[in-house]
Structure 1
Amino acid sequence: MSYCTVTVAGHSIYPPNPISIPDSSSHRKQTISLLQKCKHINQIQSIHAKIIRNGHEHDPFIVFELIRLSSSKFNSIDYACKVFHHTHNQNVYLYTSLIDGFVFSRSYVDAIRLYCQMISESILPDNYVITSVLKACGSLLALREGREVHGQVLKLGLSSNRSIRLKLMEFYCKCGEFKDAIQVFDEMPDCDVVASTVVITCYFDHGLVERAIDLFNRVKTKDTVCWTAMIDGLVRNGEMSRALDVFREMQWENVRPNEVTIVCVLSACSQMGALELGRWVHSYVGKYRIELNHFVGGALINMYSRCGDIDEARRVFEVMKERNVITYNSIIVGLALHGRSIEAIEIFREMLRRGLKPSSVTFVGVLNACSHGGLLDLGFEIFHSMAKDHGIEPHIEHYGCMVDLLGRVGRPEEAYNFITSMKMAPDHIMLGALLSACKIHGNLELGEKIAKTLLDCGKADSGTYTLLSNVYALSGKWKEAAQMRAKMKEAGIRKEPGCSSIEVNNEIHEFMLGDIRHPQRDEIYNKLQELNKILRSSQQGYYSPATETVLHDIEDKDKEWALSIHSERLAICYGLISTKPSTTIRVVKNLRVCNDCHSMIKLIAKLTNRKIVVRDRNRFHHFENDTCSCGDYW
């Protein structure tokens, strides 16, 4: 005799009262094997028809596999429901397979409802169905229902089961009931690293960074998953520097990172502009032969793109054996950010030739490329092709790209008409882009109209007030500029402080406006004054500080000083004194680069014979030989 075994969540189980199968008869085994080899729901349906013709439609083993494969593998929950409801003698295993299917398809209410139906029919739950329904309760934040399940766990004597305890902790953490979660946690065996990881992850989910760090430091023996959860949580909460510190500590402890760790660290590098550390991670991938799949490859492309080395991003893309839509999106978006518009469009066309279906993100990337390149006709051609050729209705971000494109080519009035003809209301990002175009092209009248729209609908942010103040200041309307600053103060809106960072010798150095915290501040300011003096000398007399961009009615001398101590200039000066000649300097700034800094950096690049790459809020600027890749529009 032999028995058919089915698997749930990696565990082998038997349906109740297993039916013995004579060794000479392999019909059931063959049927289940055929079902497991199916690659499409249509194949499942075809085999199901034969099962019915052979009178085996109520066989618990076969029905279990039909429901499991239909719901979880092929995401055909409706078909799985039909199979379930036409089956006699439903048991806990069949309920488990369908509840799992509901959870897999994120139909959490249906999963909980089916579990309640099972209980009402006096079918006792087991470990597997309990963990599944707790996941549904946690995802739905259904605290009352989850507590009832916990009560059933205690009543049935299942509370000692480790999987249930872990899922109960996760459920309570998701619902923000940390007291209950810790109570369950305290009942776990000491040094249970998996349980600790569950709580750490949930703390991060709720933004409780310090609690997560404290718990992480309770944990004596940490595995790769625990370290990865810590790094991922810090990254998700914007703690990039701390995430990289944890990764370095992980290396000291000789814990080998896995694929997920690598992607998390690359994400932190991307957001901080930590290129050298990103390069080291890339070398680690090669050294330990971590597969350069879509997951890792896409993260590397994104890291190099965001850290200013688009050429290396392109090389990673070229060596990847397999590329999917996400991979193409990463390189298209990267090339667009760096002003490599033609290359981005060529990659987009290659993607279409390969028969890959572009996504909404693809079009954001390629339309941004058209915008940065000033490719008006091509941009509108691609924009109209979204719905016409690819069945993708444009979203607000796609319309925003077109507004930005019209503004770049000097047509702010057309951009405004384009906005008024949209099927949806414009957001503050789109209107802010148009306001910026009005500032660049000196269209005060339209700029005031756009700003009024933002102010009236309550969508104005610090950038709106600053931009309009700039527009007034450039027109010499100091009274109006002051009024904008006063309104900003009254509204309780604070201007985000400018911050620039530079990586030198694998360390990130951050600078604020007029920063004097750096240990080498004297050398930095000496270099700054040296550059200012040279650029104002008779030999370099083509530089004149853009004092009109300073939004205060003060003396020109004071305005010049206010401009010269911007954070990006301090970061560049530190790069000049701390790196070898001809080394590319890469700076990351959280705000848009001002006009005066942009002009100044072009001259510094020429004077020092350096390439300077600056990433600001909008895009990358590659400064070389008194030119910038943005074409002086950003």
Structure 2
Amino acid sequence: MKVPNLVSFLRHCSSLEHIRQAHGFMVPAGLLNDNVIFAQFIEACSSLGYSSYAYLVFTHKRPKPNVYLYNTMINVLSPMEAISLYNNIFFAGLRPDTYSVPYVLKAVIRLSAVEVGRQIHCQAIGTGLDSNVNVVTSLVRMYSFCGCILDARKVFDGMNVRDVALSNAMVAGYVKMGDVDSAWKVFEEMPERDLISWTSVIAGYAQMKRPKEAVMVFRRMQVENLEPDEVTVLAVLSACAHLGSAELGARIHNYMQKLGFSRKLHLNNALIDMYAKSGSIRKALDVFRSMKERSVITWTTMISGLALHGLGREASEMFSQMESALVKPNEITFIAILSACSHAGLVEMGRWYFNNMALQHGIQPKVEHYGCMIDLLGRAGYLQEAWELVRGMPFEANAAIWGSLLAASNIHGDTDLGEHALQQLMMLEPHNSGNYTLLSNIYAAFGGWDESGMVRKFMRDTGVKKMPGGSFIEVNNRVHQFNAGDTSHSEFYGIFEVLREIFNQLKMVGHLQKERIELLDFDE
């Protein structure tokens, strides 16, 4: 076998036998001393999952490997082995180069071994590598991913000449820490940006439930004539779902088709979620039906969307279709179907799913499943059964469960259960004004005005303030945000007059009782 043939053979290796054949040829031909050929041998082993074989050959290599081969080997080893081999560079009398540090820091990130990372940082300073932009970028990534954002920023600020990759690393670090405002400041200071820059900020805003900003950045990106990739599209679809912006979501859908993304499973799943949360359940179903490949996430997202629209029986039918397609439901699927039963008031069906989770599918109910079931029973008026289920749970009830009981008490006028639920919530969520508001409404709705006043007084005395509710609405491709008590919208008075007219008409046809209407204005 000649060298060119060996190179081609290494590129097309598909088994351990092929690796051994290549090794058997390289030894007598003296090609283990050829650093380029040996590096390709290491990469061939790694691509097939035989890095340990390459490492064994590497450790017995004569003459000793150079830094180039050390780097190649470090890049394919497990994290612990990579760090150990990096240290061997010094024992071999060699010096790490600008590739050694980034490669070993990837291993540090995987282990979250920040103290090891600090040692490597010190070594980089000692060898003068801390002025190299690639090394600095890897240090920023390492500190960021290990949760040391201040250290990452210090390294970043110490670099006078920054390229896009370094700034992107700093932006990504802030996004990972949830500090999207700081990420935005770095982004704005960048002299040039690439798609990763834009996508990181968009994803950051979307993750922090700030969809308006995410959409704003995306629109700025469009002005820059930058074409989104799959990650960008996924982030924007998430923002559209939070905003309920079906029009923008539909435009993103068109983008997907134009860019050839329409067969991407994860993007179609996001489309279903976006359309369902934006009120377009038919479009969500259209996307679902057009998909040739469906995962359990696809089915679960569709069931969840149907649940959101109160289509419990349709969700149950979808669950049956999923089973017929031999797709195994998971824990989240059962949360979705139980939620569907709750929203549609399908008590018996909900009981059946809850009881058969473990029996038929081997999934033990968790606190989230109990929460759905308690919500279902509470909404339907089975307060005693809901209470018994809470008492019989194999774990402590969380705030969501007590909140469900409090809400059910509000609906059905059970002040005793409401008081007990609030006592538990006061320990778990002492500053959540919504809990106090619900109990006050329970008292007021059934004539307990003194008790209602006491709750409001307690809120004032303890400094609990009611957080204003808010909502989004999309009109003519523009998203408007409204918060309770906010009069800053330019068309506030016109909107208020329309609401007043709707309110009066509802009163006339008896959909709202006077006493219940007054509760809507509770703002203390």
Give the TM-score category using the shorter length: 0.7 to 0.9
User: Partners in 2 of 1:424 and 1:132 — Cα distance?
Assistant: 44
User: Partners in 1 of 2:388 and 2:56 — Cα distance?
Assistant: 56
User: Partners in 2 of 1:333 and 1:535 — Cα distance?
Assistant: 31
Q: What is the CA deviation profile of residues 165-217 of structure 1, one whole-angstrom value per residue up to 9, with x for unaligned ones?
A: 321222244421144332454244xxx22222222222233344343323323
User: Partners in 1 of 2:349 and 2:85 — Cα distance?
Assistant: 55
Q: Is this contact kept in 2: 1:439–1:470, CA < 8 A?
A: yes
Give 1:383 shift: 2.4
1:29 maps to 2:9: yes
Seen in structure 2, the aligned counterparts of structure 1 residues 444 and 260 have a Cα distance that, compared at 3 Å, is same
Q: What is the CA deviation profile of residues 400-424 of structure 1, one whole-angstrom value per residue up to 9, with x for unaligned ones?
A: 1111122133211111111111111
Amino acid at match of 1:114: S
Which structure dedicates a bigger proportion of its chain to helix? Answer: 2
Amino acid at match of 1:182: F
1:114 maps to 2:84: yes
User: Partners in 2 of 1:95 and 1:254 — Cα distance?
Assistant: 38
Q: Is this contact kept in 2: 1:436–1:467, CA < 8 A?
A: yes
Amino acid at match of 1:272: L
Q: What is the CA deviation profile of residues 9-44 of structure 1, one whole-angstrom value per residue up to 9, with x for unaligned ones?
A: xxxxxxxxxxxxxx5xx6993797123xxxxxxxx6
1:70 maps to 2:49: yes
Task: Report what 1:182 is aligned to.
Answer: 156
Give 1:312 shift: 0.7
Give 1:450 shift: 2.3
Seen in structure 2, the aligned counterparts of structure 1 residues 461 and 284 have a Cα distance that, compared at 3 Å, is same
Which of 358, 364, 371 is equivalent to 2:335? 364
1:385 maps to 2:353: no
Which of 325, 328, 333 is equivalent to 2:304? 333
Gaps of 5+ in 1: 5-22, 36-43, 72-79, 104-109, 552-558, 567-634
1:450 maps to 2:429: no
Give 1:291 shift: 3.2
Which of 436, 456, 464 is equivalent to 2:407? 436
Seen in structure 2, the aligned counterparts of structure 1 residues 152 and 439 have a Cα distance that, compared at 3 Å, is same
Task: Report what 1:276 is aligned to.
Answer: 247
Seen in structure 2, the aligned counterparts of structure 1 residues 233 and 431 have a Cα distance that, compared at 3 Å, is same
Map 1:334-483 to 2 at 5 A. 334-456=305-427, 461-483=432-454
Amino acid at match of 1:469: S
Task: Report what 1:197 is aligned to.
Answer: 168
1:494 match: secondary structure: coil
Give 1:300 shift: 0.9
Give 1:459 shift: 6.2
Task: Report what 1:253 is aligned to.
Answer: 224
Count of residues paired in the alignment? 504
Seen in structure 2, the aligned counterparts of structure 1 residues 132 and 465 have a Cα distance that, compared at 3 Å, is farther
1:388 match: secondary structure: helix
Q: Is this contact kept in 1: 2:312–2:340, CA < 8 A?
A: yes
Amino acid at match of 2:278: C
Give 1:465 shift: 1.6
Which of 505, 510, 520 is equivalent to 1:542? 510
Q: What is the CA deviation profile of residues 513-534 of structure 1, one whole-angstrom value per residue up to 9, with x for unaligned ones?
A: 3443222233223323434454
Q: Is this contact kept in 2: 1:293–1:322, CA < 8 A?
A: no
Give 1:425 shift: 0.8
Q: Is this contact kept in 2: 1:131–1:163, CA < 8 A?
A: yes
2:14 match: secondary structure: helix
User: Partners in 2 of 1:31 and 1:265 — Cα distance?
Assistant: 39
Task: Report what 1:518 is aligned to.
Answer: 489
User: Partners in 1 of 2:19 and 2:455 — Cα distance?
Assistant: 71
Seen in structure 2, the aligned counterparts of structure 1 residues 82 and 461 have a Cα distance that, compared at 3 Å, is farther
Q: Is this contact kept in 1: 2:237–2:270, CA < 8 A?
A: yes
Q: Give the % identical residues.
A: 34
Which of 260, 272, 279 is equivalent to 1:289? 260
Seen in structure 2, the aligned counterparts of structure 1 residues 62 and 224 have a Cα distance that, compared at 3 Å, is closer
Amino acid at match of 1:542: G
User: Partners in 2 of 1:285 and 1:156 — Cα distance?
Assistant: 48
Task: Report what 1:498 is aligned to.
Answer: 469
1:165 maps to 2:140: no
1:510 match: secondary structure: strand
Task: Report what 2:274 is aligned to.
Answer: 303
User: Partners in 1 of 2:10 and 2:480 — Cα distance?
Assistant: 64
User: Partners in 2 of 1:63 and 1:530 — Cα distance?
Assistant: 76
Give 1:380 shift: 2.8
Q: What is the CA deviation profile of residues 29-63 of structure 1, one whole-angstrom value per residue up to 9, with x for unaligned ones?
A: 3797123xxxxxxxx6x98999999999xx87767
Seen in structure 2, the aligned counterparts of structure 1 residues 372 and 123 have a Cα distance that, compared at 3 Å, is farther
Q: Is this contact kept in 2: 1:535–1:541, CA < 8 A?
A: yes
User: Partners in 1 of 2:511 and 2:393 — Cα distance?
Assistant: 43
Q: Is this contact kept in 1: 2:378–2:408, CA < 8 A?
A: yes
User: Partners in 2 of 1:47 and 1:412 — Cα distance?
Assistant: 68
Q: Is this contact kept in 2: 1:131–1:167, CA < 8 A?
A: yes
Give 1:392 shift: 2.7
TM-score (structure 1 length as normaliser): 0.70
Seen in structure 2, the aligned counterparts of structure 1 residues 69 and 460 have a Cα distance that, compared at 3 Å, is farther
User: Partners in 2 of 1:338 and 1:117 — Cα distance?
Assistant: 59
Seen in structure 2, the aligned counterparts of structure 1 residues 281 and 488 have a Cα distance that, compared at 3 Å, is same
Amino acid at match of 2:330: S
Q: Is this contact kept in 1: 2:75–2:103, CA < 8 A?
A: yes
Seen in structure 2, the aligned counterparts of structure 1 residues 341 and 529 have a Cα distance that, compared at 3 Å, is closer
2:474 match: secondary structure: strand
Q: Is this contact kept in 1: 2:202–2:215, CA < 8 A?
A: yes
Seen in structure 2, the aligned counterparts of structure 1 residues 27 and 144 have a Cα distance that, compared at 3 Å, is closer
Give 1:394 shift: 2.1
Give 1:123 shift: 7.5
Gaps of 5+ in 2: 33-37
TM-score (structure 2 length as normaliser): 0.84
Give 1:475 shift: 2.6
User: Partners in 2 of 1:115 and 1:435 — Cα distance?
Assistant: 59
2:13 match: secondary structure: helix
Q: Is this contact kept in 1: 2:70–2:89, CA < 8 A?
A: no
